Chains A and B, each alone.
Chain A
Amino acid sequence: MGPLFPQGIISEPVNHLIAVFIGLIFGFFLEASGFTNTRKLAGVFYGYDFVVLKVFFTAAVTSALGLFLMNYYGLIDIKLTFYPATFWLPTLVGGIIMALGFIVGGFCPGTSFCAASTGKIDGMVFVGGVFLGILGYSFTYKALFEKLRNSGNIGQVNIADWLGISEGLFLFLLTTVAIAAFIFVTWLQNKLNSKKDPQFLQDLGV
């Protein structure tokens, strides 16, 4: 039963080898889906390309349903994983800073890393920015961030418990919303792009 490494079923070197393999497939599908193209990523905010929403929500729903069912059938014990604790305030503030970074920089760290790996110079500069940002944060951590980062701790909270519904119902609703969103954004993208220059759309790979 999973998770394997936290229970000592696989050793650290094996766990790291698996990490390389998982990263390989993850990186392959990020690139193949178009996530090294900064204009495709920004498209989700301007309505000309919703590839980010489609890939992201498909991945989130696939993994949430898969892990829920595996937990239900005893293939994995979610309680033994490094389940994230919720620090609502720093996550909210940090998230808004990241939102600004998304709109200004046109990447997130994972996509910039793929872009930099495949020759995108804007991706390389963005990666440099992330490192500098972390360095700057680390040197000012005590003075500026420590108090905020450790505030708002409400522990390990499952969103279905928090809403007072069963996790099965929550995931059913999430899947329904995702499918409705896929249909809506496909319609919206076609409508908005019907007036655009075909060359512009071809360059984006839409």
Chain B
Amino acid sequence: MFKKNQYINPYIGGFFIGLMMIAAYYFSGEGLGSSGGFRDVTAGVVNGIAPKFANNSAYYGRLVEDGRNPFNTWLVFEMIGIIFGAIVSAALFNRLKFEIGKSPKISNKKRLVAALLGGLFWGVGSQLGRGCTSGLVMSGMAVSSLSGYIGLMAIFGGGYIFAYFFRKLWI
């Protein structure tokens, strides 16, 4: 089963991710997420450095009010699990090594600058849009929320529109 650089059947992978989504709603009443965890960690760091600022901030205020600790959230614990789960899988399939994933036609520098920019867009977009592919779209679709479908259309539909303009990065 664990051949080097092999991937599992995508339908099996999707099925188990779907089961974890059901488990998340059943036990905790919320879906899987990622950008929310990033937000909580950011809020925790800002709160640690400048608690007064965080409390008075329109953005961080609700995350730290009443002495709440932004590190102590469901999403932060879920993300700790994600780190170990990903490492176990990568180790089993012999993919655990330092490298830069990119098209061979572009330089490392170009790839890393693009990755940084892409991350910046996600940071802003996920906060404005109330979640990312996991927390907005997949978790929304799991409970048939309209928000998930709007996110699906915008992220994937938008992706196909932008794809043409950035094709040199990938093909």
Contacts and interface: CB of A to CB of B under 8 A. Distances in A.
| Chains A and B bind each other | yes
Contact of B115 (A15, A96, A129): A129
A83 to B, nearest CB: 6
Interface SS of chain A: helix, strand, loop or mixed? helix
Nearest to A40: B7
Contacts of A68: 144
A15 B27 contact: yes
Contact of A101 (B75, B98, B122): B122
Interface string B76-114: 011111111111111011011111111100000001101
A172 interface: no
B160 A45 contact: yes
A113 B97 contact: no
B134 to A, nearest CB: 5
Given A76-B26, A97-B128, A145-B127, A64 B142 contact: yes
A61 to B, nearest CB: 7
Interface in B1-38: 5-8, 10-11, 13-30, 32-35, 38
A82 interface: yes
Nearest to B57: A138
Contacts of A102: 118, 122, 155, 158-159, 162
A91 B78 contact: no
B86 A118 contact: yes
B37 to A, nearest CB: 8
A92 to B, nearest CB: 5
Interface in A19-54: 19-34, 36-40, 42, 44-46, 48, 51, 54
Contacts of B74: 15-16, 19
Interface residues of B, number: 121
Given A62-B18, A91-B151, A129 B84 contact: no
Contact of B141 (A16, A64, A162): A64
A125 to B, nearest CB: 4
B7 A34 contact: yes
A109 B122 contact: yes
B125 A95 contact: yes
Contacts of B100: 120-122
A95 B150 contact: yes
Contact of B120 (A28, A117, A132, A167): A132
A134 B82 contact: no
B75 to A, nearest CB: 8
Contacts of B131: 84
Contact of B34 (A28, A82, A110): A110
A158 B149 CA distance: 10
B25 A81 contact: yes
A20 B27 contact: no
Interface string A163-183: 000010011000000000010
Contacts of B160: 45
B92 to A, nearest CB: 8
Given A70-B26, A120-B100, A133-B119, A109 B38 contact: yes
Contact of B116 (A117, A126, A137): A126
Interface of B: 5-8, 10-11, 13-30, 32-35, 38-39, 41-42, 46, 57-60, 72, 74-75, 77-90, 92-93, 95-103, 111-112, 114-134, 136-151, 153-163, 165-167, 169-171
Interface of A: 2-6, 10, 15-34, 36-40, 42, 44-46, 48, 51, 54-64, 66-68, 70, 75-76, 78, 80-88, 90-115, 117-123, 125-138, 141-142, 145-146, 148-149, 154, 156-160, 162, 167, 170-171, 182, 205
